[in-house]
Structure 1
């Protein structure tokens, strides 16, 4: 049974050989490998062309069009039953294809599934950085956490709990939905649309992917405010519905919360206050009161937007324990 490995890449000469080698050395050999060279100006194209493996199909775009459009170009050529997403600087476990295909065949009700992954640093400086430590402590845990379709459906509405390059998806489903043209977040937008239309997404416990953390990672080059804007665009239908609530508070008074209120008020939201466990009484932010979370007990008149990148699991546990319902009483932008 043929499957498709799909990669779009741009100016990736430093890592592209390692990635391609990890694909071509898979124990499951019946696949096609579609590589979209998204207008690279370095030696990426020439390095790919050195491979003489018949499974590789290289599509060279004359200009850089971005991840979503490049992937959509490649999707048109996918002929396998499933598409396995590849990133240009990640490394695949030799049995990744075998295990993910087997999992999908054993669970035909699934449209998509993910495997576990682990981050690894590109160099010593990154290995010793706070950014890498936070990725391991928070992102790796949170994205590996949801372990069945029900949990994934719950959490995907709040944050992107699926690593794009850990994905295997039915080709006919991917061709039906394609990617919308976001600079970043095109994967999260796809997952949300699939969830909204009832597609089941599963989880494979094996760790089959190593995700490189480098200075050139796309997410390292944008501001938090930019991610708020993109997150709002992706979740806009649900957020516009949530906006109709009265008495909306932002949980978080750090940079995330401060930037978020500016975005929301620019879109005519009425924010009534903030929530923070560590603020003294009578403190205000943007002339709005800051309350302690304990004030939320025994009532759910206050609706909440969570603005915490690292503590949102604990916040959600607290809210659910006092009777708050995700989507109705609280939500997240990104």
Structure 2
């Protein structure tokens, strides 16, 4: 098809030998041709480096570095990216072969009428063998509520479901704070233009055993949620937002922390939410449950 702007796909890989090759092949099989793949090998001790370098070409770059973590690795890829558009892909996931074509066409369709900084589609959650188990959640704003408000409440979509413009961004994620990196990125990207959803499945998110242990790290999850809240509440847009937005931000934070059994912190955020809607039954019920240390 006609090339319509280069896409840089950034893959941070650490000990990813089990799934990296499938990830790479999903990029090679794209129907859209104007792309570059940047694989940042983050100090792997398995055969990740050898697998990645076996695909070296004019379009596939491999950067090897000591282990510094996925956030730093993504930023290294960002600094080397030459594309107009960016896609972030984890080394154990895949993109479907029309993702780049559909998303470049879609974001380009707004060029003459609206400032759009990011487009995103649907994604599947799969097992280790890429057998689909369910659809990943997509959090859409309801009527009279914009993405600019909804992004304050929740991480809207999996990172590899999106494509966004590279211009204006200085980095992908901050390196010094505990936050939810993807969510923090969307908070910055939306400052440069609107988000648009299209109803196509564009990628698969692989869920496997090595990820389950990470999801049980409740204290870390609570710190992440509170870290992203700290970013939100100092945003100029949040400071001038209406009470509905502020209620939803604190209520969604309370619910999230409550689910990780952070009862005392949940009580604090339920109370914060009630400042903006004192008659909210769901918030009062959540507060009572958290006060008596019952899970939701």
Of the candidates 203, 211, 219, which is equivalent to residue 197 of structure 2?
203
The 1-side partners of 2:194 and 2:11 are apart by 24
The 2-side partners of 1:307 and 1:25 are apart by 52
Runs of at least 5 residues in structure 1 that lack an aligned partner in the other structure: 276-298, 312-334
Q: Is 2:117 the counterpart of 1:111?
A: yes
2:292 counterpart residue number: none
Aligned-residue CA RMSD in angstroms? 4.0
Cα drift, residue 216 of structure 1: 2.2
Of the candidates 163, 166, 175, which is equivalent to residue 171 of structure 1?
166
SS at match of 2:55: coil
1:4 counterpart residue number: 8
Q: Is 2:220 the counterpart of 1:226?
A: yes
SS at match of 2:164: strand
Cα drift, residue 4 of structure 1: 1.0
Whether the aligned pair in 2 keeps the contact of 1:111 and 1:170 (CA below 8 Å) is yes
Of the candidates 272, 282, 301, which is equivalent to residue 278 of structure 2?
301
The 2-side partners of 1:9 and 1:149 are apart by 40
Q: 1:119 to 1:147 in 2, by over 3 A?
A: farther
Runs of at least 5 residues in structure 2 that lack an aligned partner in the other structure: 287-296
Q: 1:51 to 1:210 in 2, by over 3 A?
A: same
Q: Is 2:51 the counterpart of 1:56?
A: no
1:185 counterpart residue number: 180
Cα drift, residue 145 of structure 1: 4.2
SS at match of 1:76: helix
So what's the TM-score if we normalise by structure 1? 0.67
Q: Deviation digits for residues 109-158 of structure 1, max 9, x if unmatched?
A: 1111211111111159x98xxxx7xxx47xx2x32645999543332211
Number of residues of Structure 1 aligned to a counterpart in Structure 2: 266
So what's the TM-score if we normalise by structure 2? 0.75
Of the candidates 47, 57, 62, which is equivalent to residue 43 of structure 1?
47
Q: Is 2:82 the counterpart of 1:79?
A: yes
The 2-side partners of 1:249 and 1:79 are apart by 40
Of the candidates 91, 115, 122, which is equivalent to residue 128 of structure 2?
122
Q: Is 2:21 the counterpart of 1:26?
A: no
Cα drift, residue 85 of structure 1: 1.6
2:151 counterpart residue number: 156
Of the candidates 97, 101, 112, which is equivalent to residue 94 of structure 1?
97
